[in-house]
Protein backbone atom coordinates (compact mmCIF):
# COMPACT_ATOMS: atom_id res chain seq x y z
CA UNK A 1 0.00 0.00 0.00
CA UNK A 2 1.21 3.46 -0.94
CA UNK A 3 0.69 5.95 1.86
CA UNK A 4 1.90 8.80 -0.34
CA UNK A 5 4.80 11.25 -0.47
CA UNK A 6 5.63 14.38 1.48
CA UNK A 7 8.30 17.04 1.24
CA UNK A 8 11.21 16.86 3.69
CA UNK A 9 13.88 19.40 4.50
CA UNK A 10 16.90 17.07 4.44
CA UNK A 11 17.94 14.49 1.79
CA UNK A 12 18.61 11.85 4.45
CA UNK A 13 18.38 11.04 8.14
CA UNK A 14 16.41 8.71 10.40
CA UNK A 15 14.55 11.50 12.16
CA UNK A 16 13.61 13.07 8.86
CA UNK A 17 12.06 9.78 7.74
CA UNK A 18 10.23 9.25 11.06
CA UNK A 19 8.57 12.67 10.83
CA UNK A 20 7.43 11.92 7.29
CA UNK A 21 6.04 8.51 8.34
CA UNK A 22 4.06 10.01 11.26
CA UNK A 23 2.59 12.71 8.99
CA UNK A 24 1.48 10.24 6.32
CA UNK A 25 0.09 7.73 8.85
CA UNK A 26 -2.05 10.49 10.36
CA UNK A 27 -3.27 11.42 6.86
CA UNK A 28 -4.16 7.76 6.21
CA UNK A 29 -6.27 7.55 9.41
CA UNK A 30 -8.21 10.63 8.33
CA UNK A 31 -8.86 9.12 4.89
CA UNK A 32 -10.00 5.83 6.44
CA UNK A 33 -12.46 7.68 8.69
CA UNK A 34 -13.82 9.31 5.53
CA UNK A 35 -14.23 5.92 3.84
CA UNK A 36 -11.25 6.18 1.50
CA UNK A 37 -9.00 3.18 0.99
CA UNK A 38 -5.23 3.24 0.78
CA UNK A 39 -4.26 2.50 -2.85
CA UNK A 40 -2.20 -0.55 -3.69
CA UNK A 41 0.79 -0.23 -6.00
CA UNK A 42 3.40 -2.37 -7.69
CA UNK A 43 7.13 -1.62 -7.49
CA UNK A 44 9.74 -2.27 -10.18
CA UNK A 45 13.30 -1.99 -8.85
CA UNK A 46 16.33 -1.93 -11.17
CA UNK A 47 19.76 -0.31 -11.46
CA UNK A 48 18.00 2.60 -13.22
CA UNK A 49 15.54 3.42 -10.45
CA UNK A 50 12.26 2.58 -8.74
CA UNK A 51 8.99 2.73 -10.65
CA UNK A 52 5.64 2.93 -8.88
CA UNK A 53 2.93 1.37 -11.06
CA UNK A 54 -0.80 0.77 -10.90
CA UNK A 55 -1.18 -3.02 -10.37
CA UNK A 56 -4.11 -3.33 -12.79
CA UNK A 57 -3.33 -0.94 -15.64
CA UNK A 58 0.49 -1.05 -15.23
CA UNK A 59 0.51 2.74 -15.61
CA UNK A 60 3.62 4.41 -14.18
CA UNK A 61 2.57 6.80 -11.43
CA UNK A 62 6.07 7.80 -10.27
CA UNK A 63 9.49 7.14 -11.81
CA UNK A 64 12.25 7.73 -9.26
CA UNK A 65 15.68 7.53 -10.91
CA UNK A 66 18.27 5.75 -8.83
CA UNK A 67 20.86 8.54 -8.91
CA UNK A 68 18.24 10.88 -7.36
CA UNK A 69 17.47 8.54 -4.42
CA UNK A 70 19.50 9.77 -1.45
CA UNK A 71 18.21 7.63 1.44
CA UNK A 72 16.34 4.33 1.94
CA UNK A 73 15.30 2.70 5.22
CA UNK A 74 12.65 0.56 6.91
CA UNK A 75 10.98 1.45 10.20
CA UNK A 76 12.42 -0.58 13.08
CA UNK A 77 9.41 0.15 15.28
CA UNK A 78 6.91 -0.88 12.59
CA UNK A 79 8.13 -3.74 10.41
CA UNK A 80 5.46 -3.01 7.80
CA UNK A 81 6.79 0.44 6.85
CA UNK A 82 9.65 1.26 4.48
CA UNK A 83 10.64 4.57 2.90
CA UNK A 84 13.08 6.25 0.54
CA UNK A 85 13.91 9.91 -0.19
CA UNK A 86 14.16 11.07 -3.80
CA UNK A 87 14.90 14.49 -5.27
CA UNK A 88 12.17 15.61 -7.67
CA UNK A 89 13.49 16.36 -11.17
CA UNK A 90 11.15 19.32 -11.77
CA UNK A 91 10.85 21.11 -8.44
CA UNK A 92 14.27 19.97 -7.05
CA UNK A 93 12.53 19.29 -3.73
CA UNK A 94 13.29 16.25 -1.59
CA UNK A 95 10.25 13.97 -1.30
CA UNK A 96 9.88 11.06 1.09
CA UNK A 97 7.85 8.13 -0.29
CA UNK A 98 6.24 5.89 2.35
CA UNK A 99 4.91 2.34 1.79
CA UNK A 100 3.12 -0.24 3.94
CA UNK A 101 3.92 -3.89 3.18
CA UNK A 102 2.72 -6.64 5.48
CA UNK A 103 5.44 -9.20 4.77
CA UNK A 104 8.25 -7.87 2.58
CA UNK A 105 9.08 -4.35 3.79
CA UNK A 106 12.58 -5.33 4.85
CA UNK A 107 13.18 -7.35 1.66
CA UNK A 108 12.19 -4.39 -0.51
CA UNK A 109 14.60 -2.14 1.36
CA UNK A 110 17.43 -4.63 0.84
CA UNK A 111 16.55 -4.92 -2.87
CA UNK A 112 16.87 -1.15 -3.33
CA UNK A 113 20.24 -1.34 -1.56
CA UNK A 114 21.38 -4.09 -3.95
CA UNK A 115 20.32 -1.95 -6.91
CA UNK A 116 22.61 0.81 -5.59
CA UNK A 117 25.51 -1.64 -5.33
CA UNK A 118 25.02 -2.91 -8.88
CA UNK A 119 24.67 0.61 -10.25
CA UNK A 120 27.87 1.67 -8.49
CA UNK A 121 29.81 -1.30 -9.90
CA UNK A 122 28.60 -0.53 -13.37
CA UNK A 123 29.61 3.07 -12.85
CA UNK A 124 33.13 2.03 -12.00
CA UNK A 125 33.34 -0.32 -14.99
CA UNK A 126 32.18 2.29 -17.46
CA UNK A 127 34.29 5.07 -15.94
CA UNK A 128 31.24 7.20 -15.19
CA UNK A 129 30.06 7.34 -18.79
CA UNK A 130 26.97 5.22 -18.18
CA UNK A 131 25.51 7.65 -15.65
CA UNK A 132 26.04 10.61 -17.94
CA UNK A 133 24.44 8.69 -20.79
CA UNK A 134 21.36 7.92 -18.70
CA UNK A 135 21.12 11.55 -17.72
CA UNK A 136 21.27 12.62 -21.35
CA UNK A 137 18.68 10.03 -22.35
CA UNK A 138 16.36 11.16 -19.58
CA UNK A 139 16.77 14.80 -20.65
CA UNK A 140 16.11 13.92 -24.29
CA UNK A 141 12.99 11.95 -23.39
CA UNK A 142 11.65 14.89 -21.44
CA UNK A 143 12.43 17.23 -24.34
CA UNK A 144 10.64 14.87 -26.76
CA UNK A 145 7.52 14.95 -24.61
CA UNK A 146 7.61 18.75 -24.51
CA UNK A 147 8.02 18.94 -28.31
CA UNK A 148 5.17 16.48 -28.88
CA UNK A 149 2.89 18.59 -26.68
CA UNK A 150 3.95 21.77 -28.49
CA UNK A 151 3.43 20.09 -31.88
CA UNK A 152 -0.11 19.04 -30.94
CA UNK A 153 -0.93 22.60 -29.85
CA UNK A 154 0.43 24.02 -33.12
CA UNK A 155 -1.63 21.55 -35.14
CA UNK A 156 -4.77 22.66 -33.32
CA UNK A 157 -3.95 26.33 -34.01
CA UNK A 158 -3.35 25.63 -37.71
CA UNK A 159 -6.66 23.77 -37.93
CA UNK A 160 -8.48 26.68 -36.28
CA UNK A 161 -6.90 29.17 -38.70
CA UNK A 162 -7.88 27.03 -41.71
CA UNK A 163 -11.48 26.87 -40.48
CA UNK A 164 -11.58 30.66 -39.97
CA UNK A 165 -10.14 31.18 -43.48
CA UNK A 166 -12.83 28.99 -45.05
CA UNK A 167 -15.57 30.91 -43.22
CA UNK A 168 -14.07 34.25 -44.29
CA UNK A 169 -13.90 33.19 -47.95
CA UNK A 170 -17.55 32.15 -47.88
CA UNK A 171 -18.72 35.44 -46.33
CA UNK A 172 -16.56 37.68 -48.58
CA UNK A 173 -17.46 36.14 -51.95
CA UNK A 174 -17.68 38.81 -54.71
CA UNK A 175 -21.44 39.37 -54.59
CA UNK A 176 -21.18 42.69 -56.51
CA UNK A 177 -19.47 41.21 -59.53
CA UNK A 178 -21.94 40.08 -62.15
CA UNK A 179 -20.89 37.31 -64.47
CA UNK A 180 -21.84 38.17 -68.04
CA UNK A 181 -24.62 35.91 -69.12
CA UNK A 182 -24.67 34.35 -72.53
CA UNK A 183 -27.66 35.37 -74.63
CA UNK A 184 -30.63 33.06 -74.32
CA UNK A 185 -31.44 30.88 -77.29
CA UNK A 186 -34.65 29.54 -78.73
CA UNK A 187 -35.65 25.92 -79.18
CA UNK A 188 -33.42 25.74 -82.27
CA UNK A 189 -30.38 26.89 -80.26
CA UNK A 190 -30.47 30.22 -82.15
CA UNK A 191 -29.95 33.68 -80.71
CA UNK A 192 -33.29 35.55 -81.04
CA UNK A 193 -33.40 38.60 -83.33
CA UNK A 194 -33.22 41.98 -81.63
CA UNK A 195 -33.98 45.06 -83.73
CA UNK A 196 -32.02 47.24 -81.29
CA UNK A 197 -28.75 45.35 -81.31
CA UNK A 198 -26.74 45.52 -84.54
CA UNK A 199 -25.99 42.44 -86.52
CA UNK A 200 -22.83 40.73 -85.42
CA UNK A 201 -20.64 38.39 -87.33
CA UNK A 202 -20.16 36.21 -84.21
CA UNK A 203 -21.37 32.66 -84.92
CA UNK A 204 -24.26 31.29 -82.91
CA UNK A 205 -23.84 28.61 -80.28
CA UNK A 206 -24.45 25.81 -82.75
CA UNK A 207 -21.41 27.01 -84.74
CA UNK A 208 -23.25 28.36 -87.81
CA UNK A 209 -23.22 31.89 -89.15
CA UNK A 210 -26.57 33.72 -89.34
CA UNK A 211 -27.82 34.32 -92.93
CA UNK A 212 -26.63 37.65 -94.34
CA UNK A 213 -29.15 40.47 -94.65
CA UNK A 214 -29.77 41.13 -98.32
CA UNK A 215 -28.69 44.63 -99.27
CA UNK A 216 -31.05 46.77 -101.29
CA UNK A 217 -29.87 47.46 -104.77
CA UNK A 218 -29.23 51.03 -105.75
CA UNK A 219 -30.86 50.42 -109.14
CA UNK A 220 -34.41 51.91 -109.33
CA UNK A 221 -36.99 49.26 -110.25
CA UNK A 222 -40.44 50.04 -111.63
CA UNK A 223 -43.74 48.16 -111.62
CA UNK A 224 -45.97 47.22 -114.57
CA UNK A 225 -47.32 50.74 -114.82
CA UNK A 226 -43.90 52.33 -114.86
CA UNK A 227 -44.15 53.68 -111.32
CA UNK A 228 -41.62 53.19 -108.60
CA UNK A 229 -42.71 50.58 -106.04
CA UNK A 230 -43.53 51.71 -102.53
CA UNK A 231 -40.61 51.24 -100.10
CA UNK A 232 -41.52 51.78 -96.42
CA UNK A 233 -37.83 52.02 -95.44
CA UNK A 234 -37.13 54.95 -97.76
CA UNK A 235 -40.51 56.70 -97.55
CA UNK A 236 -40.32 60.30 -96.36
CA UNK A 237 -42.10 63.61 -96.63
CA UNK A 238 -39.86 64.93 -99.36
CA UNK A 239 -40.01 61.73 -101.47
CA UNK A 240 -43.37 62.48 -103.15
CA UNK A 241 -43.35 64.33 -106.52
CA UNK A 242 -44.64 67.90 -106.44
CA UNK A 243 -47.85 67.10 -108.37
CA UNK A 244 -48.80 64.26 -106.00
CA UNK A 245 -48.12 66.44 -102.97
CA UNK A 246 -50.42 69.21 -104.38
CA UNK A 247 -53.18 66.68 -105.02
CA UNK A 248 -52.92 65.42 -101.46
CA UNK A 249 -53.21 68.97 -100.20
CA UNK A 250 -56.34 69.50 -102.33
CA UNK A 251 -57.90 66.31 -101.01
CA UNK A 252 -57.19 67.46 -97.46
CA UNK A 253 -58.94 70.77 -98.13
CA UNK A 254 -61.87 68.91 -99.65
CA UNK A 255 -62.21 66.71 -96.59
CA UNK A 256 -62.34 69.83 -94.42
CA UNK A 257 -65.23 71.17 -96.56
CA UNK A 258 -67.23 67.95 -96.28
CA UNK A 259 -66.13 65.91 -99.26
CA UNK A 260 -68.37 62.87 -99.77
CA UNK A 261 -67.22 59.51 -101.02
CA UNK A 262 -69.70 56.67 -101.67
CA UNK A 263 -72.26 58.28 -99.42
CA UNK A 264 -69.89 58.78 -96.50
CA UNK A 265 -68.97 62.21 -95.18
CA UNK A 266 -65.33 62.71 -94.24
CA UNK A 267 -64.17 65.55 -92.02
CA UNK A 268 -60.63 65.03 -90.92
CA UNK A 269 -58.29 67.07 -88.80
CA UNK A 270 -55.17 68.47 -90.47
CA UNK A 271 -53.06 65.51 -91.51
CA UNK A 272 -49.34 65.17 -91.26
CA UNK A 273 -47.84 65.15 -94.70
CA UNK A 274 -45.43 62.39 -93.62
CA UNK A 275 -46.06 58.81 -94.57
Over the stretch 4-21, which tens digit does the pLDDT of each residue have? 999 999 898 889 999 999
The mean pLDDT of 260-274, rounded to a whole number, is 49
Residues 64 and 154 in one domain: no
User: Which is more confidently placed, 139 or 2?
Assistant: 2
The answer to whether residue 121 sits within a structural domain is yes
Instruction: Please tell me the predicted confidence (pLDDT) of residue 136.
Output: 72
Residues 9 and 78 in one domain: yes
Instruction: Please tell me the predicted confidence (pLDDT) of residue 1.
Output: 92
Are residues 98 and 24 in contact, defined by beta-carbon separation less than 8 angstroms? yes
The mean pLDDT of 87-115, rounded to a whole number, is 89
The answer to whether residue 76 sits within a structural domain is yes
Q: Taking all residues of the chain, what is their mean pLDDT, rounded to a whole number?
A: 75
Residues 70 and 121 in one domain: yes
Residue span of the structural domain in which 109 resides: 2-126
The answer to whether residue 79 sits within a structural domain is yes
**Statement: residue 123 has pLDDT above 50:** yes
Whether the full predicted model's pTM is greater than 0.85, yes or no, is: no
Instruction: Please tell me the predicted confidence (pLDDT) of residue 263.
Output: 47
Amino acid sequence: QFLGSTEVEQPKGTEVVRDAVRKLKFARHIKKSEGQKTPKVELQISIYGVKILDPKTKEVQHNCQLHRISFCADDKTDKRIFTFICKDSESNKHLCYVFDSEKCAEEITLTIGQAFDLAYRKFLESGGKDVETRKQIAGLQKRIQELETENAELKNKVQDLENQLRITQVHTSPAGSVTPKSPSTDIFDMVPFSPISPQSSTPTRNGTQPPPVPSRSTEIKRDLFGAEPFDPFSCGAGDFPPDIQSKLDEMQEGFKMGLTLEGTVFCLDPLDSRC
